[in-house]
Amino acid sequence: MSSNMDKLKVDFPELYDTAAKLNDTVYSGRVLSQKEQKIIAIALAAGSCNEVATRKQMENAIKYYDVNKDEIMDALGIVLIMNGKPAFTKAVGVLYSLLE
Amino acid sequence: MSSNMDKLKVDFPELYDTAAKLNDTVYSGRVLSQKEQKIIAIALAAGSCNEVATRKQMENAIKYYDVNKDEIMDALGIVLIMNGKPAFTKAVGVLYSLLE
Amino acid sequence: MSSNMDKLKVDFPELYDTAAKLNDTVYSGRVLSQKEQKIIAIALAAGSCNEVATRKQMENAIKYYDVNKDEIMDALGIVLIMNGKPAFTKAVGVLYSLLE
Amino acid sequence: MSSNMDKLKVDFPELYDTAAKLNDTVYSGRVLSQKEQKIIAIALAAGSCNEVATRKQMENAIKYYDVNKDEIMDALGIVLIMNGKPAFTKAVGVLYSLLE
Amino acid sequence: MSSNMDKLKVDFPELYDTAAKLNDTVYSGRVLSQKEQKIIAIALAAGSCNEVATRKQMENAIKYYDVNKDEIMDALGIVLIMNGKPAFTKAVGVLYSLLE
Amino acid sequence: MSSNMDKLKVDFPELYDTAAKLNDTVYSGRVLSQKEQKIIAIALAAGSCNEVATRKQMENAIKYYDVNKDEIMDALGIVLIMNGKPAFTKAVGVLYSLLE
């Protein structure tokens, strides 16, 4: 948990708790595995061209869900089609920086 | 294939072919199944708030890849977190309109 | 409540409840009035070029929070600066359609 | 001029005038022709997936600046690369609907 | 005024002046206070995931309009709902970095 | 070619080749010059608020297509209208940083 989220938890506990609860509810999917949901989150962060969020999602997925390079690249290919080359290129850069 | 894509194929065959080739390459993923990739495409279309693309991706996924309501909703939950409630609500509306 | 949200409530009650709880938490602001928060929601929906969400937010704000045309236009001017003329024009169109 | 902009002119004349002045200033480019600038505006509207704005920009460019199908498609190809296939497909649909 | 805007003023005075005029017109709202409009601008910058613009709007609002942490967080809550958690998290990070 | 694209070429050659082929097809426009297409790409990168892509497109256009400051600014004016002031300001900052 980043230190900003720590501060949010102290300053605005109800907002923090509700957002955390939403996370828990969503990631307890009915049929998709948490790993599959994490890969979707990577794709959505990449599709929004949000570098910080893409890195956070990839780190989390690699560390806790055994997501590997090929799985991420199979998802980023969809980002290339759906969101264009700059979004794809940015996410590929994040991926390679994490693998080094 | 929509009639606009038919016209594009006639008018700009090289552009049409290259775009189609990109599709084929991406969806021949290495490790994710085509079904998993289709669900990612649904999430990305929904995350971009693009109603027409969301409908097209859902229809295609339901018809050809046996994607069901629970799988789509597990993906749309991630859209709710990553892209907000209006994007989620729009995609939920498309989903229910397709299921009727 | 739209009928899609009704269906969501039946099909995915936990997801529905958590999203509703988030709404309640956020709109119980500490210092901004609910009316001020509703105007911010209008601006964000307009800034995302989401016509359906803009309409819903404006209708709700006009009906339940006595938000008027001048207040909305003062917010849409900020959208013009921050998000450009097409987003502004779309929201102005929604506003006038609601006032007729 | 659409009727909403007519109403805006009456209700909020200073805002209307300043926005119109910005348009005049920008489209009196130093080195690019107005036609080239209009094609850029088409690409930006298409890149934002804004169907109404795309149609308006294309209609205006075709009617007043002799922009033709091939010129627009050369611009939309860039949209395909930079913003992805759904944005491209939507704009191609608008283009063909205008040419019929 | 940033040094880039200084250069723009020298190089492209008419464009600079018209953009400045638009700012003056919009922020002389009819009914919303400038402070309320500044909070809307913070929300829109945050909703677009634009970190630089979010910082600039927050700094300006805190320094010149006495906007405080609670007011900004009440606005960012709406961003969480309307634009998703990554946009919210980024803006919370900017806010805490400014308060330190 | 950036080193990430080098790695992609080794790791995922088919994806790399298809994306490169799309680039070649699109930039062999029928009627617009490559220079005009490059200026459109600058505008689209700027309109998406993507600083890295904006810099890459501007560098490439200045170096290989003799695109100059006035031509870029004529395009960025359209970005100001279509995508708002934060997108414009970010691109102006990139432009001045390249010219220094």
pLDDT digits (tens, 9 = 90+) for A75-93: 999 999 999 999 999 999 9
Q: Which of E85, E61, F43, E10 is nearest to C78 (CA)?
A: E61
Kindly determine whether residue B82 and residue E83, on different chains, have CB atoms separated by under 8 Å.
no
**What residues of chain B have any CB closer than 8 angstroms to a CB in chain E?**
80-87
For residue E18, give how far its alpha carbon lies from the nearest alpha carbon of chain D (Å): 6
Is residue C89 within 8 Å of D53, Cβ to Cβ?
A: yes
For residue F54, give how far its alpha carbon lies from the nearest alpha carbon of chain C (Å): 18
Chain E residue with minimum CA distance to C80: E26
C72-76: average pLDDT = 98
Q: Which sequence spans correspond to the domains of chain C? A: 1-30, 31-99
pLDDT, tens digit, 9 for 90 and up, residues F27-78? 997 899 999 999 999 999 999 999 999 999 999 999 999 999 999 999 999 9
Q: In this predicted structure, what is the pLDDT of residue F30?
A: 87
**Residue F65: how many CB atoms within 10 A of its CB?**
16
- Counted across chains E and F, CB pairs separated by less than 8 A come out at 33
**What residues of chain A have any CB closer than 8 angstroms to a CB in chain F?**
49, 69, 73, 77, 80, 85-90, 92-93, 96
For residue D99, give how far its alpha carbon lies from the nearest alpha carbon of chain C (Å): 23
* Closest residue to C86, CB basis, from D4, D5, D53: D53
CA A65, A37, F4 angle in degrees (round to 5)? 70
pLDDT, tens digit, 9 for 90 and up, residues D32-75? 999 999 999 999 999 999 999 999 999 999 999 999 999 999 99
Task: Give chain D positions within 8 Å (CB) of F73.
Answer: 30
Kindly determine whether residue E81 and residue B84, on different chains, have CB atoms separated by under 8 Å.
yes
CA dist F76 and F7 (Å) reads: 33
C-alpha neighbours within 13 Å on the C-beta side of residue D90: 30
- With bands split at pLDDT 50, 70 and 90, how would you rate the model's confidence at A29? confident
Q: In this predicted structure, what is the pLDDT of residue E30?
A: 87
For residue B56, give how far its alpha carbon lies from the nearest alpha carbon of chain A (Å): 12
Q: Could you tell me which residues come within 8 angstroms of residue C24 by beta carbon, excluding any fewer than 6 positions away? A: none
CA E26, C79, E67 angle in degrees (round to 5)? 70
Q: Which of D72, D58, C60 is nearest to F29 (CA)?
A: D72
- With bands split at pLDDT 50, 70 and 90, how would you rate the model's confidence at F100? confident
For residue D30, give how far its alpha carbon lies from the nearest alpha carbon of chain B (Å): 33
Buried residues in A87-96 as b, exposed as e (16+ CB within 10 A): bbbbbbbbbb
Could you give the C-alpha distances from C59 to A23, C44, C66, E10, in angstroms and in order?
30, 15, 10, 45
Task: Give chain F positions within 8 Å (CB) of D44.
Answer: 43-44, 47, 78-79, 82-83
Please give the structure tokens belonging to residue C88: 């502004």
Q: Which of D26, D72, D83 has the most F C-beta neighbours within 10 Å, making it the best mutation to test the interface with F? A: D26
Q: Could you tell me which residues come within 8 angstroms of residue B81 by beta carbon, excluding any fewer than 6 positions away? A: A22, A23, A26, A41, E84, E85
Give the 3-state DSSP-derived string for chain B, with helices as H, strands as E and coil as C: CCHHHHHHHHHCHHHHHHHHHHHHHHHCCCCCCHHHHHHHHHHHHHHCCCHHHHHHHHHHHHHHHCCCHHHHHHHHHHHHHHHCHHHHHHHHHHHHHHHC
Task: Give chain C positions within 8 Å (CB) of E40.
Answer: 39-40, 43, 75, 78
**What residues of chain E have any CB closer than 8 angstroms to a CB in chain A?**
49, 69, 73, 77, 80, 85-90, 92-93, 96
For residue F51, give how far its alpha carbon lies from the nearest alpha carbon of chain E (Å): 10
Q: In this predicted structure, what is the pLDDT of residue E93?
A: 97
pLDDT, tens digit, 9 for 90 and up, residues F7-21? 999 999 999 999 999
Kindly determine whether residue B48 and residue D89, on different chains, have CB atoms separated by under 8 Å.
no
CA dist C99 and D19 (Å) reads: 22
* Domain at B33-99, CATH from 1.10.10.10, 1.20.1290.10, 3.40.50.410, 2.40.70.10: 1.20.1290.10
CA dist F72 and F58 (Å) reads: 8
CA C68, C74, C76 angle in degrees (round to 5)? 100
Determine the distance from the C-alpha atom of residue B31 to the mean position of all C-alpha atoms in its chain, rounded to a whole number. Answer: 19
Buried residues in A58-78 as b, exposed as e (16+ CB within 10 A): beebbeebebebebbbbbbbb
The type of residue at E29 is G
Task: Give chain C positions within 8 Å (CB) of B85.
Answer: 19, 23
Global model pTM greater than 0.95: yes
For residue E69, give how far its alpha carbon lies from the nearest alpha carbon of chain F (Å): 23
DSSP per position, E27-77: HS-SSS-HHHHHHHHHHHHHHTT-HHHHHHHHHHHHHHH---HHHHHHHHH
Kindly determine whether residue F22 and residue B22, on different chains, have CB atoms separated by under 8 Å.
yes
Indicate the SS3 state at residue F77.
helix
D79-89: average pLDDT = 98
Q: In this predicted structure, what is the pLDDT of residue E29?
A: 79
Q: Which of B8, B21, B30, B48 has the most F C-beta neighbours within 10 Å, making it the best mutation to test the interface with F? A: B21
Could you give the C-alpha distances from A14 to B85, C30, C40, E47, in angstroms and in order?
19, 11, 21, 21
Q: In this predicted structure, what is the pLDDT of residue C92?
A: 97
Is residue C90 within 8 Å of C46, Cβ to Cβ?
A: yes
Could you give the C-alpha distances from D76 to A89, B70, B79, in angstroms and in order?
20, 36, 27
* Closest residue to B85, CB basis, from E81, E86, E87: E81
Interface ipTM > 0.90: yes
Kindly determine whether residue B43 and residue A39, on different chains, have CB atoms separated by under 8 Å.
no
Quick one: fold of E31-99? Answer: AhpD-like (1.20.1290)
Domain D32-99 sits in CATH at 1.20.1290.10
- With bands split at pLDDT 50, 70 and 90, how would you rate the model's confidence at E2? low
Is residue D81 within 8 Å of A85, Cβ to Cβ?
A: yes
Contacts 24+ apart (CB under 8 A), D2-6: D2/C93, D4/C89, D4/C92, D4/C93, D4/C96, D5/C89, D5/C92
Angle of helix C13-27 versus helix C34-47 axis, rounded to 10: 120
Q: Which helix (H) or strand (E) holds F76?
A: helix F69-83
Kindly determine whether residue C87 and residue F86, on different chains, have CB atoms separated by under 8 Å.
no
CA dist F50 and F59 (Å) reads: 14
Kindly determine whether residue F75 and residue D32, on different chains, have CB atoms separated by under 8 Å.
yes
Query: Tokens 């709880």 label which residue?
Result: C21
For residue D15, give how far its alpha carbon lies from the nearest alpha carbon of chain A (Å): 32
Q: In this predicted structure, what is the pLDDT of residue C94?
A: 98
B18-33: average pLDDT = 94
* Closest residue to C82, CB basis, from F81, F82, F84: F84
Chain A residue with minimum CA distance to B22: A81
Give the N- to C-terminal CA distance of chain E in Å, as an integer. 23
Chains that touch D (3 or more CB pairs under 8 A): A, B, C, E, F
pLDDT, tens digit, 9 for 90 and up, residues A1-19? 468 999 999 999 999 999 9
Chain F residue with minimum CA distance to E15: F77
In the predicted structure, residue F2 carries a pLDDT above the cut 70: no
Could you give the C-alpha distances from F28 to C49, F20, F32, F38, F58, in angstroms and in order?
32, 13, 9, 11, 19
In the predicted structure, residue D1 carries a pLDDT above the cut 70: no
- Counted across chains D and F, CB pairs separated by less than 8 A come out at 97
**Residue F46: how many CB atoms within 10 A of its CB?**
30
Q: In this predicted structure, what is the pLDDT of residue C2?
A: 66
Give the N- to C-terminal CA distance of chain D in Å, as an integer. 23
What letter does residue C49 receive in the DSSP assignment? Answer: T
Q: Which of A2, A9, A10, A11 has the most E C-beta neighbours within 10 Å, making it the best mutation to test the interface with E? A: A11
